[in-house]
Structure 1
Amino acid sequence: MAAQDNELSIRSRYGLLRDLVPIYSLYQLLPNLIAVGLFLWLNDRLGHFPPILILLLMLGWVFQFVLRPSLMIVSTDQAAWLEAVLEAQGFFVKSETDARWRIVGKEWWQRWPHQFIEFVPGDTVTVIAPGEVMEALRGSLELVEEHGELLFASDAQPFAFEPPEPEPEPELSWQMKVPAVVLGAGCVVSMVWTTFTGGREGLLRWGLSAKALSEGRFETIFLHMFAHGSAMHLMMNMTALAAIGPMLTSRLGPVPINGLRFGLLFFLSALAGATTFLALHPFGAVPMLGASGGLYGLIGLMIRTPSDGGGVLAVRSKRVKRIALDLIKQNAFLFLMLALMAWESGTAGGLAWEAHLGGFLFGLCIGPKLLPRAGATMPDEALPPETFVPAR
């Protein structure tokens, strides 16, 4: 199948503003009105929205949002291949009246009128499908571009490919895990220290804000990177650190320089996140806590350095743009959910997206400067020297 030059970009069929209220049929309107009425009635009876109901409301919105009608432009060859995949899988059936593909095996009340797949022919083919389904269709096309034509195998496995057997990746040595362990230990010790010495008030004194700096508490510029607002906050960040820390360390050169580069990237990314936070809240009093700014810097560099040993990816590459967009969506949802919960409980707080953004942009744009140059001696667990190129 011929490769396609376009980006296989997915866009909304009706526009973002319409997607924010994801109701595309009268069949959806009725249950949504019932749900809103129930929430208003409970609010009137209880005097407030219980947090669990707010969470259910958000999950319902997300469920409808991911199934929003979307568009994607493909070539005629790609469209023919997708239709062949749909037919082989048997999860969708093509209507003889309107040529639309509709899912099978669902009850009548589960079949929303806007939930279909349609191929509109022209010079190119416009694919119309629910957002979640469209992501799967795009993934199939990208799989073809990466591995070549896929072969139909059976009803249980509609298509399969046999790429060359990859060489087994060597297990990372304990030295690659040391920087992440040291950083994580610092965060855990900080959590224990603030919990047993000053409680909630002592913890907030570690937070960074314009007010804290105006009071001369400049130590918060450093301390906030290790303090966390709750055990759940700490666990989320430590999980992310454990997942990416050793792998990124292995790409930063030999021991011990890789650990120094890792620590420097984290520290500078956290500073970039703090600077962004302060720039957007120049007179703010709500303190910011957490290692997220530094962690997002690690993520920013991680997505620029492919695991297959290729050169540093361009910021405008498809992979970088895709991951960046996914991170924006995740942060937007978390910010909205935490803001609603904070508003309901009458407290200040939420997600410091400004620090996430500043740290991520630093790691994405400046982080590659910390990568070893071509010809540098790499550890056995890392990528071979010949696969590295100078950071750009």
Structure 2
Amino acid sequence: MFPIRDHNPSGRTPYVTYALIALNVVIFIGYWPLFNDARALNQFFFDWAMIPARVTQMGEYSGLFTSMFLHGGLMHLVGNMLFLWIFGDNMEDRMGHLPYLAFYLVSGMGASLAQVLAGPLSMVPMVGASGAIAGVMGGYLLLFPFARVDILVIFIVFFRIITIPAAILLVLWFAIQLFSGIGVDAGNGGVAYWAHAGGFVIGAALTLPLFLRLGGRRFWNMTDGKPPHPEADYTYRRTSIPRVRYPK
């Protein structure tokens, strides 16, 4: 299942979300040539990624921040930016530009620390914005659980777009990260499941004060659990242009 869009575009321009997407893309393009040289790429990630053992054994914390803007490949980047584009605009709209930026960065660094706790002696570099974006998703679940999201379902040769409440997608995603993390040795690399799960929980926790200030469950009742904007209409309409039928 791949989310492709939500039905509630932001009520104002999400400048921070757009800037984060642009920054991630520009940085990726900057070191793209290194993918042709494995040694140079590994050295680049060693210098700028988050390596748990360097945090716990050497007290080097800069990677907690810099790793959020690095990606291990093109599809890694595209997938993360898609999730940020879908869920980030409404969170920025509700929080405000600068508070949202702080929320994003804190979620990302907290997600990295969660991965450190899961594998404190690991020398495997961790890169990606997914921890910070997981924080955005955790906050989105709390504020807008019934927002409608279109997902692309792919099953062998079956392709279909269906619409579901955001809560179903987000809870399922979190459960996958949590149970996958339990079954994987965090010190041996692979997907940083604990960074994803940790970022999600941190994002929800950071959003909780805002949720309570908005009225808690009363906020859901006022907005039906959706962003307070008119829903986008993605249905296809018949064209008013008449068809021209050619004689046989």
Indicate whether the TM-score tops 0.5.
yes
Partner of 2:50: 208
Output aligned runs, 1:1-392, within 5 Å: 172=10, 175-196=12-33, 198-213=40-55, 214-215=57-58, 217-252=60-95, 258-306=96-144, 325-331=171-177, 349-370=189-210, 373-374=213-214, 383=228
- How far apart are the structure 1 equivalents of 2:207 and 2:31? 31
Structure 1, unmatched stretches of 5+, are 1-168, 253-257, 310-318, 340-347, 376-381, 385-392
- How far apart are the structure 1 equivalents of 2:88 and 2:80? 11
Instruction: Report deviation, 1:217.
Output: 4.0
* Alpha-carbon distance change, 366 to 240 in structure 1, aligned in 2, over 3 angstroms: same
Higher relative contact order (CA 8 A, sep 6+): 2
* Alpha-carbon distance change, 323 to 171 in structure 1, aligned in 2, over 3 angstroms: closer
TM-score (norm 1): 0.41
SS at the partner of 1:225? helix
Q: Greater helix percent: which structure? A: 2
Q: How many residues align?
A: 186
Contact 2:24–2:70 (8 Å) recurs in 1 = yes
SS at the partner of 2:228? coil
Residue type matched to 1:242 in 2? W
Contact 1:261–1:370 (8 Å) recurs in 2 = no
Contact 1:304–1:320 (8 Å) recurs in 2 = no
Structure 2, unmatched stretches of 5+, are 1-6, 35-39, 148-164, 216-226, 230-248
Partner of 1:32: none
Contact 1:210–1:285 (8 Å) recurs in 2 = yes
SS at the partner of 1:351? coil
TM-score (norm 2): 0.63
Indicate the structure (1 or 2) with the bigger Cα radius of gyration. 1
Instruction: Report deviation, 1:210.
Output: 2.4
